[in-house]
Amino acid sequence: MRPNWLKPALGYIPQWMDFQMEAWQRPGCVVAIAQNGKIIFDQAFGVASLKTQAKLTPRHLFRVASHSKSFTAAGILKLREQGQLKLDDAVGQYLPGKLDRSTARVTLQQLLSHSAGLRRDSKNSGYFADTRPFPKAVEVLKDLQDGPTITQNTRFKYSNLGYALLGMVIEHITGQSYADWMAREILRPLGLSETTTDMPLLRGMAAKPGLMHGHSGRLLLGRRVIIPCDQPLHALAPVGGFVSTAHDLALFFNQLSPQANKSILSAESRREMTRKQWSIPHASMGGDYGLGVMVGRSNGWDWFGHTGGLQGFISRCITIPGQGLSIAVLTNSIDGMAGGWVDGILHILQTFAQRGAPVKRHTDWSGRWWGLWGACDLVAMGNRVLMAGPGMLAPFQDAAEIEVTGRNTGRIVLANGYGSHGEEVWLKRNSKGHVTEFWNMERRQKVAAQLVRRYEKKKRTSQKK
């Protein structure tokens, strides 16, 4: 059963996202939200390609990069549940004769938690800049021949090459390719038909709309260029090769919650996977890491999830076990704001959860209002109306609160010290009773026309004289 605050919260998210997309001028973004194993929100914003201007849809496919690690970690834990390995096994046990002695001694647990001390990437990691192909297994093993760069089990040290080894372990134990085994044991049981482990796409997935275009950032050239990002990652597929949708990612991470009713893993494995293993050092944002997932806490809500970045794409997904919710945000540009937008959506959900659904009499106190200084969203929740800032990543942060005192009157009962605390606000209506103005702010089209008339037409008239 959904809490009564969830529907109005979901109703505000697309309004906020539309403004964010326009304000930050990003090409495209898809947001999906799952609750207790079901998708309750799945919406696209912007375009799939700046070249073709094709509209982005929720069915477009993204490179989801390091989210692949969470799938790989689930695969390893699945093999443990089948009795085919132990997490304290040395990786060399499954890759005999392929590793130097020090690397062979690191454990599967250390690889999963990024505490094995291994190199992050190849000595020539130009594959992340499209200057060389992604490596095959023999190249990864060669890159690791010098052993760990720091002592194992001493700190968190992210290693893409370590997760490549985990993919090789899966292949050694199962006698199958990583792609085939993961499809049979992880993807199909969950019904993730929009997900595959690497390029090229499967035949059914290659049909329209297919893989979208990635884009560069805008600052380097002053414009964006198309980045196809359709190359296979080969031995790094378990690290970052996955192709998916926000829909499938939200469902995958939702069932990893220890509280989920249905999952491919036991509740014991899920608790272990999502429990803090290591704190992430020298990072201003802090945070922790479990087994294939990031772990954190935001304003009292615990979460776990992952991020992803491959040339042309940035993504983030989190699950909030206490609410049964998962949020997936996928973007198709190198400067995509997936991280900030996940935090913003979490902030919106938390604010509605704290204040509750709006009372019915506040219906007219809603919508986006404009003035010379920008936009303000009136958002009713509980017995108050909040003056949200849609351009902010946390739109309700320090928002002024209105107490409605009449059909067209209200009073600001809480505001920032630099604001209008204690002052009256009002609505104006036309002859049909429709609201046309809020407290000296009007609809966008009217304000835009006023600006042109006030500043541009006046200037042209002055120049003629």
Q: What does the pLDDT look like over 322-376, one tens digit per residue?
A: 999 999 999 999 999 999 999 999 999 999 999 999 998 898 999 999 999 999 9
pLDDT of 465 > 60? The answer is no
Please say whether the beta carbons of 250 and 190 come within 8 A. no
Beta strands in 218-287 (DSSP E): 226-227, 243-244, 278-279
Place of tokens 């991020």: 307
Instruction: Give the list of residues 6+ apart from residue 282 with CB closer than 8 angstroms, or none.
Output: none
- As a whole number, mean pLDDT of residues 187-202 equals 97
Q: What does the pLDDT look like over 39-92, one tens digit per residue?
A: 999 999 999 999 999 999 999 999 999 999 999 999 999 999 999 999 999 999
Percentage, residues of the chain above pLDDT 90: 94
Closest to 61 (Cα-Cα) out of 283, 255, 286, 244:
244
Work out the pLDDT band at 464, boundaries 50, 70, 90: low
- Backbone φ and ψ of 384, nearest 5°: -125, 165
The two three-digit tokens of residue 408, written as one number:
């067209």
Q: So what's the pLDDT on residue 324? A: 98
Q: Which residues of 11-49 are buried (b: 16+ CB within 10 A; e: fewer)?
A: ebbebbbebbbeeeebbbbbbbbbbbbebbbbbbbbbbb
- As a whole number, mean pLDDT of residues 155-162 equals 98
The amino acid that residue 262 corresponds to is: K
Task: Give pTM, 2 decimals.
Answer: 0.96
- As a whole number, mean pLDDT of residues 407-424 equals 96
Whole-number Cα distances in Å, 300 to 64, 137, 347, 354: 28, 43, 11, 11
Work out the pLDDT band at 287, boundaries 50, 70, 90: confident
